[in-house]
Structures are given as structure tokens and as C-alpha cells.
Amino acid sequence: MQSYLDFEKPVADLEGKIAELKSLAATDQAVSIDEEVTRLSARADEALVEIYRRLTPWQKMQVARHPQRPHFTDYVTSLITEWTPLAGDRKYREDAALLAGFGRFEGQPVAVLGQEKGNSTETRLKHNFGMANPEGYRKAVRIMDMADRFNIPVLSFVDTAGAYPGIGAEERGQAEAIARSTEKSLELGVPNLAIIIGEGGSGGAIAIATANRVLMLENSIYSVISPEAGASILFRDAARAQDMATAQKITAQDLLGFGVIDGIIPEPAGGAHRHAERVMADTRSEISRFLTEFAGKSRLEVREHRREKFLAIGTNL
């Protein structure tokens, strides 16, 4: 069943009428609904295009958080073969919020990292809503270290509201673990690509998004703090989260203009949750282009490219 966001109400109403007509036709074969369904479907499509053509930053954030949006495991299933997940940080325990392992992309060995939010109550609790503990980032460091040792490119799929802020996580060194993961990403001699597929929240995102190339899906977001938390701190009023979302410049379009990211993967009107196959195909093309471009670069060239990229951020504003 399709889940609608508040601003999608016009589309929900039209598609609701279509469902009613189809239900009526199912009980009364004499009723002809084809012409009306075609008319309503065209109106729904037009409404969807118009709504998504002028999304505000707050609405983009809602799309990025949509419960039916493809998650990390969906991308792995669609893009990676021979997927072999590895568990544990060899220090404390396994963290199901950040998944990591090895597989093949179009036959080429790759290391794959990403936060998994889950798609049901059970899986969301299992994956802690995609908010990793220190052991998750230490596992990421372990996988990146293995990839670097065997000259295997690294792909990261970012989708998290942020690193888990619990007392236990802080006691086990959350900040240090994020810093070590960021450091490892920067020092890799193999090319790494980060794709923000939903939310890119704070250090929890940047720990695996410090890459040679950073891409964002068109309706994803990337920020140092959530609009709700930012509004509470700066405006002393969480109800002003919409104003904060606009002020933060969290959208892919804003960040491409600032040079923080390197490209945008387009989403058809309606978002990735309505057009998963199309988005997967475009993501596949971007990964393939990246791997081809960096295939001939030496380890030194890869490091220098990444270094220069991040040093250049903010210098041409």
C-alpha cells in the first residue's frame, strides 16, 4: 500500500478515487471505468509532477525519510552480486545499523558499506533505525583496511539521521570511532565513492562519506544536524524546523552549488520510493562511470584527488 506524505494529498485523493472505481468494477462487471480511470490517472500524474517540481527543503527532507524509500539492502540486492557481509569490529560486538562486506559490481570486486534503517518495526529495531554505535564505525574501518590491502574499491551508501547518541555509545568512544572512520576514508589508496540515498546526518554520515566522489539522490539531504534539533538550539523552538531546513541548505541542489558534493542522481517525479528500478539503474550507471574513471589511477593519485577535493570545499564561495 502506497504511503502518502502530507503535501501529496491531491495525488492521494485522485488515486483513492481510482481505487474506488476499480473496486466498483470488480463487483459489477457491467460498469465501464476505463475512460474515467485514464482521465484520473493523467490528472494524478500531472499533480505529482507539479508537486515534486517545487518541493521545499522541508518537503525534500520528508521524501528522504519516506518509509518506503529504498534502503541499503535494496541497493545491495539490486547492484551487488556475491554479497558477503562481514560482522563485528573485533573489539566489542556486531552492529546491525552499519552493514559492511564484499561483493561484485558488474563482475568487479568491491567493498560495500552502508547504514540500514529497516522497513518494519522488527527490522527498524534490529538495525537501530540506521544509527550506528562505535562498533559499527570500527567495523567500517576494518572493512576499508581490508579493501585497501587488496586494492578493492569502496562503495558507501549513506542513510542515517546520525550516529547513535546513547550513553553506552559515548562511553565506548563514539566520537573517536567516527574520527577513525573518517581518517581511514581519507587515507585509502583505493578509490571510494559515497552515495547519499536518504538522510546524511552529521558525523554519522561523514564517517563513511569522505570519498573521492560524493553523490546525492535528488531528494536526499545532507547536514550537520537535523532541522528539528537545529531549530531547538538556534531558535529555541522545535516548531521552526521548516525555517531551519531552509536556512541550513541541506538539499542536493544547494550542496552541489557549494561544491560539497560532486553530482546528483535524478529521481523521477514521485521520488525513489515510487521509481526504485529507475533510480537503481541510474545509480548503477554512476558507479560504473566512477570505477572506469579511477581504474587507471595510482594509489598516490587517488589520495591526492581526495585531498584536493576536500581542501577546495569553501574556497570558491
Out of 20-29, 195-204, 230-239, 267-276, pick the least confident. Answer: 20-29
- Residues 62 and 19: their CA atoms lie apart, in Å, by 25
Q: Is a pLDDT exceeding 70 seen at residue 30?
A: no
| Residues contacting 124, CB < 8 A, separation 6+ | 117, 118
Q: How far is 218 from 267, CA to CA, in rounded Å?
A: 6
State the average pLDDT over residues 123-127: 96
Mean pLDDT across 151-171? 96
256: confidence class by pLDDT, cuts 50, 70, 90 = very high
**Each residue's pLDDT tens digit, 163-222:** 999 999 999 999 999 999 999 999 999 999 999 999 999 899 999 999 999 999 999 999
Mean pLDDT of 213-240: 93
Count other C-beta atoms under 10 Å from residue 194's C-beta.
27
Taken in order 36, 39, 41, 47, the sign of the CA dihedral is: negative
217 and 267 Cβ atoms separated by less than 8 Å: yes
Q: What is the C-alpha to C-alpha distance for residues 159 and 204, in angstroms, rounded to an integer? A: 9
| Predicted pLDDT at 3 | 85
Span 113-136, mean pLDDT?
A: 95
DSSP H helices in 80-201: 121-126, 134-149, 167-171, 174-187
**Would strands 98-105 and 108-115 be described as parallel, antiparallel, or unpaired?**
antiparallel
Q: What is the pLDDT of residue 34?
A: 75
